[in-house]
């Protein structure tokens, strides 16, 4: 199944978030089969990342958005576990600092965009400025409309200078979120994640859904598409997300650079060293 096509918010076509089923799963798959595909996707992502780092001509920006418990942290942990941390950076966008508030709302995002050869993952992102700030009425509608335009201009700049952009909205249902909050309450290892604010924000659920719907419609463009990933089932979320990421990386046609040394000369050096060592392998330590 082509998840890049299935879950794409088609640019220029109206998207209704109510029509995106957060509990959807591929009926041809089960959890065990999905895990095998996810593992293959992890290997594809790691291989592409290695070549991306070596090539140093392109970069990849991954934007993860979703309400609490949608799985942003888990996607990073599960999908990128084989990726070398060298050349891959994760930035978590929390409440703006005093320094960040003294700049335009895109400043904190632009300063952590990926350099050539790198992957940058935004756990939440510059879209907070048209989501949280809109829902809590910290900015008016005129400012929101300006920010949509500024976001599109910002992402176009990145795209035109060699950065491929993938944006994933992890779509979790209100009922599933409440269930996961309960899991956190019952799991001592996760209790630190719970706060009263989590439950207070649920009062704004319709506002968040409308804010996401408008942002997805305004900012899903050819050079920076949005994908809406069903996230009620963790295994399917990871499957669809990893498939989209692996397919996108492969479509970037990343070419490993040619050797910068004379391989014939290096092989001769190797042979001399092998002969000097008597052609024997060192014994492993006891």
pLDDT tens, N- to C-terminus, the chain (286 residues) = 799 999 999 999 999 999 999 999 999 999 999 999 999 999 999 999 999 999 999 999 999 999 999 999 999 999 999 999 999 999 999 889 999 999 999 999 999 999 999 999 999 999 999 999 999 999 999 999 999 999 999 999 999 999 999 999 999 999 999 999 999 999 888 888 888 888 899 999 999 999 999 999 999 999 999 999 999 999 999 999 999 999 999 999 998 878 878 888 889 888 888 888 886 555 545 5
Q: What's the chain's length in residues?
A: 286
Q: Are 109 and 150 in contact (CB under 8 A)?
A: no
Residue 252 CB partners (closer than 8 Å, separation 6+): 48, 52, 58, 60, 164
Domain regions of the chain by residue span: 3-261
3-state SS assignment for residue 88: strand
As separate numbers, helices (DSSP H) first and strands (DSSP E) second, the chain gives 12, 5
Q: Which of 189, 211, 234 is CA-nearest to residue 65?
A: 211
Q: Of the CATH numbers 3.20.20.70, 1.10.3720.10, 3.40.50.300, 2.30.30.40, which one belongs to the domain with range 3-261? A: 3.40.50.300
* End-to-end Cα spacing for the chain: 51
Q: How far apart are CA 48 and CA 66, in angstroms?
A: 26
> What pTM did the predictor assign?
0.91
Q: How far apart are CA 269 and CA 127, in angstroms?
A: 54
Q: How far apart are CA 133 and CA 152, in angstroms?
A: 18
Q: What does the buried/exposed string (b/e) look like for 212-230 if buried means 16 or more CB atoms within 10 Å of the residue's CB?
A: bbbbbbbbbbeebbbbbbb
């Amino acid at each position: 199944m082509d998840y890049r096509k299935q879950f794409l918010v088609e640019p220029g076509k109206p998207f209704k978030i109510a029509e995106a089923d957060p509990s959807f799963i591929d009926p041809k798959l089960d959890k065990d089969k999905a895990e095998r595909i996810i593992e293959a996707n992890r290997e594809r992502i790691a291989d592409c990342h290695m070549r991306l780092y070596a090539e140093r001509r392109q970069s990849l920006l991954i934007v993860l958005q979703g309400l609490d418990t949608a799985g942003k942290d888990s996607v990073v942990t599960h999908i990128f576990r084989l990726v070398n941390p060298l050349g891959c950076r994760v930035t978590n966008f929390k409440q703006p600092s005093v320094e960040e508030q003294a700049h335009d709302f895109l400043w904190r995002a632009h300063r952590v965009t990926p350099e050539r050869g790198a992957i940058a993952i935004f756990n939440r992102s510059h879209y907070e400025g048209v989501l949280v700030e809109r829902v809590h009425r910290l900015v008016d509608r005129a400012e929101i409309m300006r920010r949509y335009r500024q976001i599109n201009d910002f992402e176009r700049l990145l795209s035109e200078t060699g950065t491929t952009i993938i944006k994933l909205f992890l779509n979790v249902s209100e009922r599933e979120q409440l269930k996961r909050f309960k899991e956190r309450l019952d799991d001592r290892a996760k209790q630190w994640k719970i706060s009263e604010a989590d439950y207070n924000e649920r009062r704004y659920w319709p506002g968040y859904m409308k804010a996401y719907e408008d942002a997805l419609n305004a900012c899903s463009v050819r050079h920076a598409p949005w994908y809406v990933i069903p996230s009620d089932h963790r295994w399917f979320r990871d499957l669809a997300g990893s498939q989209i990421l692996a397919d996108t990386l492969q479509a970037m046609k990343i070419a490993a650079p040619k050797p910068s040394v004379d391989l014939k000369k290096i092989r001769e050096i190797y042979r001399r060293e092998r002969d000097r060592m008597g052609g024997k392998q060192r014994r492993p330590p006891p």
